[in-house]
């Protein structure tokens, strides 16, 4: 900033000197012309010419001053960028040296960073405001915004939070086009998203060496207990080898299809996304080396990645999306996402015993609840038969039968690698007319059929 100060002083001196010089010339000229007896017309003509010359000089000086000011602003901007880059490098060095290292020993072992994936939404401020508003601790939950696309207006919005709320803003460096055959060019956005996710996760787990990460996108609102939920379930993720993620999302979480019991949590074979947590060991040990070129979320749902493991998911979503437009062109938003119920109450999960979610405890209890419930058809459920029964089961046999009954009951009817959304051991749980419904296979179910799609 010393260079900037010297240039400003130089500018003031030049302006002052220029004004004094012009004033002195004008006074001298006027004095000399008045001392001579010259015709009035000649004097006026000379004075007019002199004023014209002065005007040209002032205009010229003004342009030079304008250019100088622009140069000074550029210097200031470059200095600011250098300072931010230096600060980022110092953070990285601190992480690598161990002074701010997460996931190794001591207190930093419980640090859970929030990684926000951003691109070109200037409404990113809405998502950041919620993350900051509900965050109980900046040291336990550092926020890192990873931006793709090189969109300057969005970058400017994010930068306002860097100094004011001490968030970290990193930028995906590879903005190159991805060469695709003609029949795949319409999917280029999904290729770029997968590339960005890979780079951002590398930063979290390789550069910063954090033990785990909570991943959100730039169009998500979070619930008041968002951080509480992930903090309380993180020990389960570390303890249970059959868990590989925690998600804030319920794909069937529409209004009227969820219980009012916001504390209810489940295991699911389906990878939900939309606000999710994984740990460093899973990413570096399995996912990093084979990360896909596109459709990363469907890739996560494949048996080759899931390996029979489950995620924890809530009854009521802890995130909701306001991003109507994206690579999916808003179609999924209008048909489904805008109807999702968003949790608005704080549930103190950290004060609860969540050990029931461990597989050894969960499975016997789950099977008993499902297969002891009376069986109804989808139409009987809709018509309210056996209304005194608060838990009922609808049985499906085969792919087409599942899809037909799912449509009648109002839940999502698609599969990913043979797994229905939110299913656990083939069972999908939801609410209809204020009672629990399990859409379930026969008790003899032996596993998912990956040909179901």
Whether residue 99 is predicted with pLDDT greater than 50 in this model: the reply is no
Structure tokens at 150: 């090189």
Instruction: Compute the CA torsion angle 76, 81, 84, 88 (nearest 10 deg).
Output: -160
Active site residue 251: no
Q: Which of 293, 297, 298, 449 is catalytic?
A: 297
pLDDT for the residue numbered 236: 98
Distance separating alpha carbons of residues 63 and 315, to the nearest angstrom: 65
The helix (run of H) or strand (run of E) holding residue 192 is helix 188-202
pLDDT tens for 58-85 read: 677 767 766 766 665 665 555 555 555 5
Whether residue 100 is predicted with pLDDT greater than 60 in this model: the reply is no
Whether residue 225 is predicted with pLDDT greater than 80 in this model: the reply is yes
pLDDT tens for 298-343 read: 999 999 999 999 999 999 999 999 976 655 546 677 888 889 999 9
Strands 415-416, 391-395: pairing kind: unpaired
pLDDT band for position 98 (50/70/90)?
very low
CATH, range 106-357: 3.90.550.10
Higher pLDDT, 139 or 95: 139
pLDDT tens for 196-211 read: 999 999 999 999 999 9
* Spans of all domains in the chain: 2-96, 106-357, 361-440
pLDDT for the residue numbered 332: 73
pLDDT for the residue numbered 110: 84
Instruction: Note whether 201 and 288 are within 8 A (CB).
Output: yes
Taking residue 192's Cβ as centre, other Cβ atoms within 10 Å add up to 21
DSSP letters spanning 119-136: SS-TTHHHHHHHHHHH-S
pLDDT for the residue numbered 181: 96
Domain 361-440 is classified in which CATH homologous superfamily? N-Acetylglucosaminyltransferase I, Domain 2 (3.10.180.20)
DSSP letters spanning 253-322: -BTTSS-S-TT-EEEESS---SSEEEEHHHIIIIIGGG--SS-HHHHHTSHHHHTT-EEEEESSBSEEE-
pLDDT for the residue numbered 239: 98
Counting residues of the chain whose pLDDT is more than 70, the rounded percentage is: 77
pLDDT tens for 4-59 read: 455 555 555 555 566 656 665 656 555 555 544 445 566 667 667 766 776 677 67
Whether residue 269 is predicted with pLDDT greater than 50 in this model: the reply is yes
């Amino acid at each position: 900033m010393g260079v900037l100060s010297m240039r400003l002083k130089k500018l003031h001196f030049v302006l002052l000197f220029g004004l004094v010089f012009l004033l002195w010339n004008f006074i001298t000229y006027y004095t000399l012309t008045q001392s001579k007896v010259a015709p009035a017309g000649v004097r006026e003509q000379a004075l007019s010419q002199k004023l014209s010359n002065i005007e040209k000089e002032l205009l010229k000086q003004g342009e030079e001053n304008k250019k100088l000011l622009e140069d000074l602003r550029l210097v200031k901007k470059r200095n600011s960028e250098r300072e931010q880059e230096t600060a980022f490098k110092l953070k990285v060095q601190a992480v690598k040296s161990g002074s701010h290292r997460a996931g190794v020993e001591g207190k930093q072992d419980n640090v859970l960073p929030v990684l926000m994936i951003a691109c070109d939404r200037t409404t990113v401020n809405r998502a950041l405001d919620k993350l900051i508003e509900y965050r109980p601790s900046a040291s336990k939950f550092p926020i890192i915004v990873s931006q793709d696309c090189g969109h300057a207006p969005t970058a400017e919005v994010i930068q306002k939070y860097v100094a004011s709320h001490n968030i970290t803003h990193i930028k995906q460096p590879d903005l190159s086009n991805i060469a695709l055959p003609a029949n795949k060019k319409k999917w280029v956005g999904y290729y770029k998203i997968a590339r960005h996710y890979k780079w951002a996760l590398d930063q979290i787990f390789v550069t910063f060496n954090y033990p785990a990460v909570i991943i959100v996108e730039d169009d998500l609102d979070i619930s008041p207990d968002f951080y509480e939920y992930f903090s309380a379930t993180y020990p389960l993720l570390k303890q249970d080898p059959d868990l590989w993620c925690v998600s804030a999302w319920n794909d069937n979480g529409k209004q009227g299809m969820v219980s009012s019991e916001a504390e209810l949590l489940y295991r699911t074979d389906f990878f939900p996304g939309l606000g999710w947590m994984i740990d460093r060991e899973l990413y570096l040990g399995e996912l990093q080396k084979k990360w896909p070129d596109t459709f990363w979320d469907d890739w996560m749902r494949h048996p080759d990645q899931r390996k029979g493991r489950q995620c924890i998911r809530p009854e009521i979503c802890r995130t909701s999306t306001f991003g109507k437009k994206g690579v999916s062109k808003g179609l999924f938003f209008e048909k489904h996402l805008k109807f999702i119920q968003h949790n608005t109450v704080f549930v103190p999960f950290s004060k609860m015993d969540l050990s029931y979610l461990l597989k050894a405890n969960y499975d016997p209890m789950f099977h008993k609840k499902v297969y002891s419930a009376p069986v109804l058809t989808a139409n009987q459920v809709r018509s309210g038969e056996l209304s005194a029964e608060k838990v009922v089961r609808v049985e499906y046999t085969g792919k087409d039968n599942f899809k037909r009954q799912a449509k009648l009951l109002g839940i999502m009817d698609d599969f990913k690698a043979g797994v229905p959304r939110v299913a656990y051991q083939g069972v999908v749980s939801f609410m209809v007319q204020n009672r629990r419904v399990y859409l379930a296979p026969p008790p003899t179910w032996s596993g998912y059929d990956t040909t179901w799609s």
